[in-house]
Amino acid sequence: MKFLSIKEAMDKGSGEVNLRGWVHRERGSNKLKFIQLRDSTNIIQCIIEKSVVGDKKFDIADKLQVETSITIKGKINKDDRAPTGFEIHVSDFEVVGESNEFPITKDQSIEFLADNRHLWLRSRKMTAIMKIRSTIFGAIDEYFRKEGFHEYHSPIFQSVQCEGGSTLFTVDYFGKKDVFLAQTWQLYAEPAIFALEKIYTIAPSFRAEKSKTSRHLTEYWHAEMEVAWAKFDEIIDHGEGLIKHMVKKVLENNKEELKTLNRDIKKLEPTVKKKFPRMTYDEAVKLLKEKCKMKVEWGKDLRTIEEDKLSDLYDIPIAVTRYPKKVKAFYMKEPEDSDPKKPVVNGVDFIAPEHYGEIIGGSERESDIKKIQKRLEEDGEDPKEYEFYMDTRRYGSVPHGGFGLGVERIIAWVCGLDNIKDAIPFPRTMIRYKP
């Protein structure tokens, strides 16, 4: 017996079909039973009649619980009154796996759904998000491969920090305490550009984020790239190209899912069509002052509130460059025209529209070993631990740079989610690490 997916059966539109899936909803009378059958592709209404299946089978149908898995044989036909436009007149069915009373019913608290995340994944909402997530991961691979990048992998257990000690997860590594979970691949990626020149990865990063925000996870998926010989503008071009490609792919492949999530696609279309504004930190500070009546003292990092105000001025992501040196990481390059009194670095943050915050952080990398060492010392790090990294500047160094993109931040924005937690199947935060 060949099974069709619900989508394939709807495409066929008429005749006999065999389907398999789960009971999404059920209701009935003593002669008729209506079942909404769900599979990964769609939902379809199935009608079981006592006069067709007989008393014994009807009795089983009558007792079917939500989430029971079943196979169904029947005739499909178009019916505009059915919730998804088609219905099936069942000639026979079999129960595959019975279901206990399903704990998730309507109107449950966020906490309850989080405790039952393993079951909540089956919801229409989570199914739609996970499909969009899959499109986005595929689009990242597609973008980088089409641009001639090699996929490269860095270790998750690392012996140096890269994005600041305050968000490092220390691991008990056979009693040793100087082992950390990766915050980024970067220090282990730069050595590989001397072999592969253009590299990317999609891997988990870990940050011990102690604040509760709607944008931070402790474990998130990080799409990162590093390019040899690259000028700063090229790195920014790739950031823009990648974001456009991801959004374009979702608009092409996930119209149904965006509809399920009530996401207005008009909010996403400009990202594919328009060029992203690029501005320096100084210009951003000026805009904040003139258009948002917000005063930012030169040298302070842009906080969430400032990023949100800036993003209100646009319907597409923006790229902010040339941040004050002291608010950015030790490896970012100070450009030649940087003012010694107000030093800046060639770092770039992409800020998403609609208050979704920073989606990409990137930079051109500093080539001057002395400057790197000095910054590490200022950060309280021991430069000796970074000797392997300094070798990237000692043996045929070339201009290079790269960026990291938070995949769940993109998913949250594209899907229009209230919280980043729904962008990943099992979110990890300071207070949530189960199930």
- Closest CB to ligand ATP among 122 and 428? 428
Among 38, 216, 249, 325, binds ligand ATP (CB under 6 A): 216
Among 33, 131, 222, 375, binds ligand ATP (CB under 6 A): 222
Asked if 406 touches ligand ATP (CB under 6 A), the answer is yes
**Phi-psi label, residue 380: left if phi above 0, alpha if psi -120 to 50, beta otherwise:** left
Strands (E), 207-317: 219-228, 278-280
Among 74, 239, 317, 357, binds ligand ATP (CB under 6 A): 357
Assign 3 to helix, strand or coil. Answer: coil
Query: Rounded to the nearest whole angstrom, what is the least distance from the CB of residue 186 to ligand ATP in the complex?
Result: 9
The count of chain residues that interact with ligand ATP, using the rule CB under 6 A, is: 18
DSSP at 189? H
Instruction: Give me 313's structure tokens.
Output: 């001025």
The count of C-alpha atoms lying within 13 angstroms of the C-alpha of 417, restricted to the half-sphere facing its C-beta, is: 25
DSSP at 365? B
Q: How far apart are CA 410 and CA 432, in angstroms?
A: 21
Instruction: Give me 124's structure tokens.
Output: 């229409």
Among 386, 408, 415, 422, binds ligand ATP (CB under 6 A): 408
Query: Rounded to the nearest whole angstrom, what is the least distance from the CB of residue 241 to ligand ATP in the complex?
Result: 16
Question: Binding pattern to ligand ATP, positions 175-214, x when CB under 6 A?
Answer: --------------------------------x-x-----
Question: Binding pattern to ligand ATP, positions 12-51, x when CB under 6 A?
Answer: ----------------------------------------
- Closest CB to ligand ATP among 216 and 238? 216
Amino acid code (one letter) for 281 = Y
Identify the residue whose tokens are 């997860």.
169
- Closest CB to ligand ATP among 90 and 405? 405
Asked if 402 touches ligand ATP (CB under 6 A), the answer is no
- Alpha-carbon 316 to chain mean position: 18
Identify the residue whose tokens are 């609609």.
354
- Closest CB to ligand ATP among 33 and 238? 238
Q: How far apart are CA 6 and CA 12, in angstroms?
A: 10
Among 359, 372, 412, 415, binds ligand ATP (CB under 6 A): 359
Q: What is the distance between the terminal CA atoms of the chain, rounded to a whole angstrom?
A: 37
Q: Are 308 and 348 in contact (CB under 8 A)?
A: no
- Closest CB to ligand ATP among 210 and 289? 210
Query: Rounded to the nearest whole angstrom, what is the least distance from the CB of residue 288 to ligand ATP in the complex?
Result: 17
Q: How far apart are CA 43 and CA 10, in angstroms?
A: 10
Q: How far apart are CA 271 and CA 391, in angstroms?
A: 40
Q: In residues, how long is the chain?
A: 435
- Closest CB to ligand ATP among 122 and 278? 278
Among 58, 149, 152, 220, binds ligand ATP (CB under 6 A): 220
Q: How far apart are CA 239 and CA 17, in angstroms?
A: 46
Q: How far apart are CA 361 and CA 363, in angstroms?
A: 7
Asked if 404 touches ligand ATP (CB under 6 A), the answer is yes
- Closest CB to ligand ATP among 46 and 168? 168
Q: Which of residues 59-98 bind ligand ATP (CB under 6 A)?
A: none
Distances in Å between the alpha carbon of 144 and those of 64, 87, 241?
Answer: 48, 43, 10
Question: Binding pattern to ligand ATP, positions 314-333, x when CB under 6 A?
Answer: --------------------
Query: Rounded to the nearest whole angstrom, what is the least distance from the CB of residue 404 to ligand ATP in the complex?
Result: 4
Query: Rounded to the nearest whole angstrom, what is the least distance from the CB of residue 49 to ligand ATP in the complex?
Result: 51
Backbone dihedral angles phi then psi of residue 22, each to the nearest 5 degrees:
-125, 150
Q: How far apart are CA 320 and CA 189, in angstroms?
A: 24
Among 67, 163, 240, 364, binds ligand ATP (CB under 6 A): 163
Q: How far apart are CA 238 and CA 242, in angstroms?
A: 6
Among 360, 372, 415, 417, binds ligand ATP (CB under 6 A): 360
CA torsion, ordered 351, 355, 356, 357, to nearest 10 deg: 40
- Closest CB to ligand ATP among 34 and 169? 169
Query: Rounded to the nearest whole angstrom, what is the least distance from the CB of residue 140 to ligand ATP in the complex?
Result: 13
Instruction: Give me 137's structure tokens.
Output: 């991961």
Asked if 421 touches ligand ATP (CB under 6 A), the answer is no
Among 67, 190, 240, 358, binds ligand ATP (CB under 6 A): 358
Assign 430 to helix, strand or coil. Answer: coil
- Closest CB to ligand ATP among 62 and 209? 209
- Closest CB to ligand ATP among 6 and 189? 189
Residues that bind ligand ATP (CB under 6 A): 163, 207, 209, 215-217, 220, 222, 357-361, 404-406, 408-409
